[in-house]
Chains A and B, each alone.
Chain A
C-alpha cells in the first residue's frame, strides 16, 4: 500500500478561532491525507507529543494571536529534542512579513496568510514532506 501522508493540524496558544484550521484540515483530507486534528489551546509540548504518538509527516499550525514568535520556536525545539527532526512544520495565520524570514530560518517549511489558496497549501504540505529527511 502506498504510504499515506499523515498530518497533524494544531492550534497552539490562546486564540479561540479555528475555522481556518478546520478548512485546511478538510482540504488536506480531500487531497487524500490522514489529518489528525487536536482542537484549540494546545501547548507546544502537547503538539510535539501528539506528533510523536501519531508519527506524523508534517505539523500544520494555525496561529492568529500574534504569539507565533514565542510558540513556533518552542515547538521546533521540542520536536528536535524528541528526535522528530524529520517532521515538516508549516504555519498559517496572521504573520507579519518581517517575521517570515526569521521563521523560515528556524526551519518552518512554508507560511500562509489569510486568503491563501488551498491548492497551494496542499502542494506545500506534499513538497515539505518530500523535502524533509526521512525517518530511518
Chain B
C-alpha cells in the first residue's frame, strides 16, 4: 500500500487521504503517521486566531501568497471552523477567502471541522500538522475558529501565534486581555482602513504595556493591516520571521517544541485512558452514575471515584 511513501514522495491525493484517516481516528492513519513522524521536524508553524469576522482567512490568503512570492516552496493551511453542536455537521467556508491560492501546486489547504473540541482547533489538528510537515510543507498556517477568550490551544501547537483583532474593539479589549492577547507573539489590527482602528491599536498598546517581561524576551509588535488589499502584509510577515529567528537564537523554540511534546503526550494519555476506561465499564454503569449525579445523590467527583474504584 505504501501510503507513507506516497506522502513523502509528494502525492497530494495520498496526503489528503491520510488526513481524512487521521481526522476519523482510523487506526490505519495512525500507523502511517508513525512512519512519517521522524520526518515531521523542520517547519515554521504559524497560528492565526482572533474573534470572528476580523479577517483571519483573508489575512492568511495574503500571507500565503507572500510566502510563495518570497521563495517558500511549499506552504500549507489548516483552517478550522466550528461543528454544529446539534447535527454534528459543519459549513467550512474559509476557502472562499483563499481563492487566490487556487491552482498553485505549492499550496495545500485543508478545512477542518472542530468536531466538538473547545479550544479553537479540532482533536486531529496536531496530527494534521505532523503529516503536512512530513509531506514537505515548510510553512504551516493554522487558522482557528473565531475565538474570544479561552481558545488558546493554538499557542501550544504553533511556533508563532498571530492574534488578529478588528477595529472598534474599544472596551472589549479590556475583556479579552486575560485571554488570547496573552498568547500573541504578533498582534494585528486588521481592517485598518475602518474607523476605530487607531483606537484599537492604542488599547492594545495600553494593555500590553502593563505586562512585565524579562529583559531579552520577545515583545509582541502591534501591526495594522488591510488584508483585503494586502497592505501591511509584508511588515506582518517580517515580524513573523523575526519571531522565528528569536525562537531559534534564544533557544525558546526548542523549549516550546519540548513543551509541545509534553502537552501532546498528556492529551493523548487522557484520551486513551478515558476511552479504554469507558470500554471496560459494565453496560449501563456510566448511565447509572449520570442518574445519581442528576438526582444529586452524588457529586460528579464521587460518581467518578466510585466508577474507578470498581474497575477490574
- Chain A positions within 8 Å of B, measured between CB atoms, are 1, 3-4, 6, 25-26, 28-39, 42, 45-46, 49-50, 52-55, 82-84, 135-136
With the chains together, A36 CA to B89 CA distance in Å? 11
Asked if B87 and A54 sit within 8 Å, CB to CB, the answer is no
Give the residue among A30, A52, A55 with the most B Cβ atoms within 10 A.
A55
Q: Contact partner of A37 among B93, B103, B115, CB < 8 A?
A: B93
Residues of B in contact, count (CB < 8 Å) = 30
Q: Contact partner of B89 among A1, A30, A45, A136, CB < 8 A?
A: A30
Known: A32-B89, A45-B102, A53-B16. 6 other contacts (CB 8 A): A1-B25, A29-B84, A29-B87, A46-B99, A52-B16, A55-B16
Asked if A33 and B89 sit within 8 Å, CB to CB, the answer is yes
CB distance from B302 to the nearest CB of A (A): 30
Interface string of B113-144 (1 = CB under 8 A from A): 10100000000000000000000000000000
Chain A positions within 8 Å of B20 at CB level? 6, 55
Q: Contact partner of A29 among B89, B96, B102, B111, CB < 8 A?
A: B89
Chain B positions within 8 Å of A36 at CB level? 92-93, 95, 111
Asked if B102 and A46 sit within 8 Å, CB to CB, the answer is yes
Asked if A37 and B92 sit within 8 Å, CB to CB, the answer is yes
With the chains together, A52 CA to B19 CA distance in Å? 11
Chain A CB within 8 A of B234 CB: no
Asked if B108 and A37 sit within 8 Å, CB to CB, the answer is no
Chain A positions within 8 Å of B16 at CB level? 52-55
CB distance from B242 to the nearest CB of A (A): 30
Between A and B, 19 residue pairs with Cβ closer than 8 Å are: A1-B24, A6-B20, A31-B89, A32-B89, A35-B92, A36-B92, A36-B93, A36-B95, A37-B92, A39-B96, A45-B103, A46-B99, A46-B103, A49-B102, A50-B109, A52-B13, A53-B12, A53-B109, A136-B1
Which residue of chain B lies nearest to A41 when distances are taken between CB atoms in the complex?
A: B99
Asked if B91 and A26 sit within 8 Å, CB to CB, the answer is yes
Chain A CB within 8 A of B110 CB: yes
Which residue of chain A lies nearest to B95 when distances are taken between CB atoms in the complex?
A: A38
Asked if B24 and A4 sit within 8 Å, CB to CB, the answer is yes
Given A29-B90, A32-B87, A50-B102, the answer on whether A3 and B24 have CB atoms closer than 8 Å is: yes
CB distance from B26 to the nearest CB of A (A): 8
Chain A positions within 8 Å of B93 at CB level? 36-37, 39
Asked if B102 and A34 sit within 8 Å, CB to CB, the answer is no
Chain B positions within 8 Å of A34 at CB level? 83, 89-90, 92, 113
Chain A positions within 8 Å of B19 at CB level? 55
CB distance from A37 to the nearest CB of B (A): 5
Chain B positions within 8 Å of A46 at CB level? 99, 102-103
With the chains together, A135 CA to B111 CA distance in Å? 20
Asked if B13 and A84 sit within 8 Å, CB to CB, the answer is yes
With the chains together, A36 CA to B88 CA distance in Å? 14
CB distance from A55 to the nearest CB of B (A): 4
